[in-house]
Structure 1
């Protein structure tokens, strides 16, 4: 595993009727949903990683603020920067912008996992 502090990942989307608060059940309005913003933050963090075959990462914690509403049709971009590494635990600083300015900010924690053993363990929960 070759991770370095400062590595960055990005993710983008367009606000459509599918990722609004109304569509996702997190509100009644046709604006970019907080759950969609969270998913974009996680996608940016995943995009920062180049893990070896057989490994992946899972999100374990988020502490975010969604600070501005973004309307239908707007472009939204997220950036994640790796700011802390503790063995398999990683912490990212995440920021989200629309075409006008920042709409979200926070920290996101992920853990590196071995895919096969993770899936075996997950199956024991049924």
Structure 2
């Protein structure tokens, strides 16, 4: 794993009826949903990573503020910066913006995992349900 503090990732989308608060069930209005903003921030963090084959990362913690509403048709992008590495734990600062400025900010933690082992444990945990 060759990761260094300062790596950045970016993700973008356009607000549509698919990612509004009304559609996603997080509110009643046709504005960019908080869950959609969080997913975009996580995607930006994943895009900052280049992990060896067989490894992946999973999100484990989020602390996010959604500060401004974004209407239909407006472009939104998120930026994640890797600010701390503690063995397999990765800490990112995350921000989201629309054409008018910042709409969200926070911190996101991910863990680097062995993909096959992780899936096997998840399947074993859910057998017999």
Same topology, TM > 0.5: yes
SS at match of 2:125: coil
Aligned residue pairs total: 126
Partner of 2:26: 26
Aligned to 1:88: 88
Q: Which 4+ runs in 1 deviate beyond 4 A?
A: none
If the length of structure 2 is used for normalisation, what is the TM-score?
0.97
Residue 6 of structure 1 pairs with residue 6 of structure 2: yes
Question: SS at the partner of 1:107?
Answer: strand
Structure 2: runs of 5+ lacking an equivalent = none
Give the aligned partner of residue 123 of structure 2.
Answer: 123
Work out the CA distance in 1 between the residues paired with 2:66 and 2:26.
13
Three-state SS of the structure 2 residue aligned to 1:73 is: coil
- The alpha carbon displacement at 1:125 in A equals 1.9
Quote the Cα distance in structure 2 between the aligned partners of 1:125 and 1:116. 14
- SS of 1:124's equivalent in the other structure is helix
Return the alpha-carbon distance in structure 2 between the equivalents of residues 124 and 103 of structure 1: 40
The CA distance in 1 between the partners of 2:13 and 2:99, in whole Å, is 12
State the superposition RMSD in angstroms: 0.3
Q: Distance in 2 between matches of 1:74 and 1:104?
A: 15
Partner-residue secondary structure (3-state), 1:57:
strand
Distance, in Å, in 2 between the alignment partners of 1:65 and 1:90 is: 20
2:112 match: 112
The aligned counterpart of 1:58 is: 58
For normalisation by structure 1, the TM-score amounts to 0.99
